[in-house]
């Protein structure tokens, strides 16, 4: 039987320590040097709520970084929470932030991957996934340069 004196309209959600630990692990993940890199200019800062921080540029897309985080950690974190826990000073690089020349030689490989994906020839635009499906071992130099006999004879269909 319900107590008539209790107020049934108030509800307080319990904060779990697991979610706080997950948010902290996501936050530290974004600050790793293989995930993001620090900019070099003194004026390349971002200020939010009077907190000024040096800008860090992401090394990959958020979806790929989420996959990398999920493979390294046992926390089952959604993509939405992963993106929400990103520190404000860790941003995706823009054209102005790039240190490369953006010439057709350097961008040609990604353009080819985008075109193959748009024509339905490959399943993903991610170049790393395309390499995994093309060669038998990504660590071997012979596979990378097309000198591997096994790569030439077999078609790789990895999940």
Residues 44 and 115 in one domain: no
Q: Which residues, in sequence order, are CB contacts of 28 under 8 Å at separation 6+? A: none
Residue 149, in any domain of the structure: yes
Q: Among all chains, which residue has been given the structure tokens 């993903």?
A: 124
Yes or no: say if 112 and 118 are a contact pair by the CB < 8 Å rule. Answer: no
Rounded to whole angstroms, the Cα distance separating 90 from 56 reads: 5
Domain span holding position 131: 104-153
The confidence score (pLDDT) of residue 157 equals 46
Q: What is the sign of the dihedral through the CA atoms of 116, 121, 125 and 129?
A: negative
First to last CA, the chain: 55
Tokens of 131: 């390499």
Residues 67 and 137 in one domain: no
pTM score, two decimals?
A: 0.56
The confidence score (pLDDT) of residue 86 equals 93
Yes or no: say if 113 and 127 are a contact pair by the CB < 8 Å rule. Answer: yes
Domain tally for the chain?
2
The confidence score (pLDDT) of residue 139 equals 81
Per-residue pLDDT of the chain in tens (159 residues, 90 and over written 9): 455 555 566 766 655 555 778 888 899 999 999 899 888 888 888 899 999 999 999 988 899 999 999 998 887 889 999 999 999 999 988 877 666 565 666 677 778 888 888 998 888 888 878 877 778 887 888 887 778 888 776 655 444
Rounded to whole angstroms, the Cα distance separating 81 from 62 reads: 12
Choose the final residue of a domain: 76, 96, 116. 96
Residues 22 and 87 in one domain: yes
């Amino acid at each position: 039987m319900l107590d008539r004196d209790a107020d049934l309209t108030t509800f307080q959600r319990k904060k779990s320590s697991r979610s706080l630990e997950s948010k902290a692990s996501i936050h530290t993940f974004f600050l790793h040097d293989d995930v993001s890199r620090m900019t070099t200019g003194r004026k390349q800062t971002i200020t939010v709520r009077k907190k000024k921080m040096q800008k860090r540029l992401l090394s990959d897309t958020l979806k790929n970084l989420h996959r990398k985080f999920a493979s390294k950690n046992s926390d089952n974190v959604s993509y939405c929470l992963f993106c929400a826990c990103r520190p404000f000073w860790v941003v995706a690089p823009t054209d102005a932030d790039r240190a490369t020349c953006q010439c057709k030689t350097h961008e040609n490989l990604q353009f080819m991957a985008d075109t193959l994906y748009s024509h339905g020839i490959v399943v993903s635009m991610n170049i790393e996934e395309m390499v995994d499906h093309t060669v038998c071992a990504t660590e071997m130099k012979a596979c990378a340069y097309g000198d591997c006999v096994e790569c030439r004879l077999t078609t790789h269909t990895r999940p």
